[in-house]
Chain A
Amino acid sequence: NAGVTQTPKFRVLKTGQSMTLLCAQDMNHEYMYWYRQDPGMGLRLIHYSVGEGTTAKGEVPDGYNVSRLKKQNFLLGLESAAPSQTSVYFCASSSLSRSRQHFGDGTRLSIL
């Protein structure tokens, strides 16, 4: 039972490059979330989805885009990476709004 899987686990980018982070869950959850974790800041919501084909902005959405074409996958894209996007990114999913969220192991992203 994999739960929530994030790909890749580590990545180093140069400023201006683009990339996509993949989150896959095998629990048939409706809700999926992308958070970023910065030192001393806790986790902050970037974007979220309440079902296949739907996405919405969270607290810190600028510079990111997302897509949820399939229920099990939630993609986070950086079109033009900036050093301020250096962070650890966590994906999470839940079956219902306000229920326990299951987290992936995180993606450590460095932008030089």
Chain B
Amino acid sequence: AQKVTQAQTEISVVEKEDVTLDCVYETRDTTYYLFWYKQPPSGELVFLIRRNSFDEQNEISGRYSWNFQKSTSSFNFTITASQVVDSAVYFCANDGGSQGNLIFGKGTKLSVKP
């Protein structure tokens, strides 16, 4: 069955610390996509990244980086030098198949304290 597991329910760090959010997925598809979304306290969902299963290169965007490891079915997200504005719930997701819908993990709530 398609499934996304975010084992960390809540993480609290102090500003400027690095933090990694874990994501483990299960899929029976040979081609699939993985996503990360951010949900700040205001409630909207902000798209962060979409990654094709054939592209295992790590990605870096400013303070954000993603580590995709097919061998362990993981797609982890690291924030370097965290800031208070990074406080949010972060969701990992994969596409569920031909319907195109996303299968979401339960989210990790990140609190960055000054």
Residues of chain A having any CB pair with chain B under 8 Å: 31, 33, 40-45, 48, 50, 56, 58, 88, 90, 92, 94, 96-103, 105-106, 108
Cβ A42 vs Cβ B107 within 8 A: yes
A48 partner, pick from B33, B35, B91, B99, beta carbons under 8 A: B99
Number of A-B contacts (CB under 8 A): 59
Give the contacts of B49-69 with A (CB-CB under 8 A). Answer: 50
Chain B interface residues (CB < 8 Å from chain A)? 4, 9, 32-33, 35, 37, 43-45, 47, 50, 91, 95-96, 98-102, 104-107
Contacts A88-B43, A98-B95, A105-B44 given; does A45 touch B101 at CB 8 Å: yes
Contact B91 A42 (CB under 8 A): yes
Give chain B residues whose Cβ lies under 8 Å from the Cβ of A105.
43-44
Q: Do residues A48 and B44 form an inter-chain contact, with CB atoms below 8 A?
A: no
Residue of A with least CB distance to B104: A42
